[in-house]
Amino acid sequence: TWTPENIIDDQVARIRAQVGDKEVICGLSGGVDSAVAAALVHKAVGDQLTCVFVDHGLLRAGEAEQVEKDYVAATGIKLKVVDAADRFLGALDGVTDPEDKRKIIGREFIRVFEAAAREVAAAGDVEFLVQGTLYPDVVESGGGTGTANIKSHHNVGGLPDDLQFSLVEPLRTLFKDEVRTLGLQLGLPEAMVWRHPFPGPGLAIRIIGAVSRDRLEVLRAADLIAREELSAAGLDRDVWQFPVVLLADVRSVGVQGDGRTYGHPVVLRPVSSEDAMTADWSRLPYDVVARISTRITNEVPEVNRVVLDVTSKPPGTIEWE
């Protein structure tokens, strides 16, 4: 029978049998899948597991801290943090094309992860790489397994031939809701367990225009307000995702505080969906939308206009880039 306890016991036994006394490495993204996969492996083999968190500087407010502090406190996992924000921002300097942004981020990510994996491997006999592959990912990719590397839809290419690992994929038979149940049972931070899907390239594809530190700060502030108000209204689980998008190259005239401003718009893009293949714009209550708008324009001086995206997918994608 399916109970979280049974699944956990079963996976712990399987992981122990697979891994033996070898070392294991796992990349954490901040999302629920890698967090739960790593927590299971840690439960099975303890400090034989080292997690690597590449902080690309493109996460939302509080998310890096959630991994570095809350997750580590909840699990006791050995974590290597690589602060790579300067490197990513340098590589993204002046880049506006969405696919170029993705390619650059994917390339930098695999380089940084590779360097970190080499350091971990130099210290021990690392044979395994944990991946948070879910059942729908298995079906989508034709069911194969092997010595592959990181999910291609996370936009990272492969690791080089001399740095190949066997995969540990403890979530391969599970759906997302089951993974969340396990995460709660394993005592992971609720905010992580219930986090909405978030794209690998992060906020870089929610800034329309070139990415910069200043623009990221503006978007983080607006995004945090939207998330806070959605949570306060008890609507977290009613939306699939809620991108907030900064139209960094667009300016419009406003009146704020002492007078005329020439600021930037942000777009609210709350959507409901089952699987992200199709989506509908969420009919959020107007009073929630109004609170978000008022707070953003009051608290984020660079933003003087808030607009609501009322496009379904298709024809619009969920993200703006």
| Residue 252 is assigned to a ligand binding site | no
The strand ranges marked E within the chain are 23-28, 49-55, 78-83, 126-130, 166-168, 207-208, 244-247, 252-256, 259-268, 271-272, 280-281, 303-308
Report residue 317 as tokens. Answer: 């994608």
Give the Cβ contact number of residue 42 at 10 Å.
23
**Which residue, 33 or 127, is less far from ligand XMP as judged by CB?**
33
Among 74, 91, 148, 276, binds ligand XMP (CB under 6 A): 276
Q: Shortest Cβ distance from residue 300 to ligand XMP (Å)?
A: 22
Q: Is 200 in the site for ligand XMP (CB under 6 A)?
A: yes
For residue 267, what are the CA distances in angstroms to 58, 71, 246, 272? Answer: 18, 31, 7, 16
Question: 255-265 burial string, b = 16+ CB within 10 Å, else e?
Answer: eeeeeebebbb
**Which residue, 44 or 54, is less far from ligand XMP as judged by CB?**
54
Q: Is 313 in the site for ligand XMP (CB under 6 A)?
A: yes
The footprint of ligand XMP on residues 13-42 (CB under 6 A) is none
> What is the pairing mode between strands 126-130 and 166-168?
parallel
| Residue 187 is assigned to a ligand binding site | no
Query: What dihedral angle (degrees, nearest 10) is formed by the CA atoms of 200, 187, 3, 144?
Result: 30
Secondary structure of 161-210 in HEC code, one letter for each residue: HHHCCEEECCCCCCCHHHHHHHHHHCCCCHHHHCCCCCCCCHHHHHEECC
| Residue 33 is assigned to a ligand binding site | yes
* Pattern 103-122, ligand XMP, x by CB under 6 A: --------------------
The footprint of ligand XMP on residues 137-166 (CB under 6 A) is 153-155
The footprint of ligand XMP on residues 221-260 (CB under 6 A) is 241
Choices 81-89, 174-182, 198-206, 225-233 (CB under 6 A): range interacting with ligand XMP: 198-206
Report residue 234 as tokens. Answer: 């008890």
Choices 50-58, 130-138, 221-229, 312-320 (CB under 6 A): range interacting with ligand XMP: 312-320
Q: Is 76 in the site for ligand XMP (CB under 6 A)?
A: no
Q: Shortest Cβ distance from residue 102 to ligand XMP (Å)?
A: 5
Q: Is 301 in the site for ligand XMP (CB under 6 A)?
A: no
Among 78, 102, 103, 118, binds ligand XMP (CB under 6 A): 102
Q: Shortest Cβ distance from residue 98 to ligand XMP (Å)?
A: 9
Among 132, 201, 263, 265, binds ligand XMP (CB under 6 A): 201
Task: Report the length, in residues, of the chain.
Answer: 321
AA identity, residue 175? F
Chain residues in the site for ligand XMP (CB under 6 A): 102, 153-155, 197, 199-201, 241, 276, 313, 317-319
Residues making up the binding site for ATP: 29-35
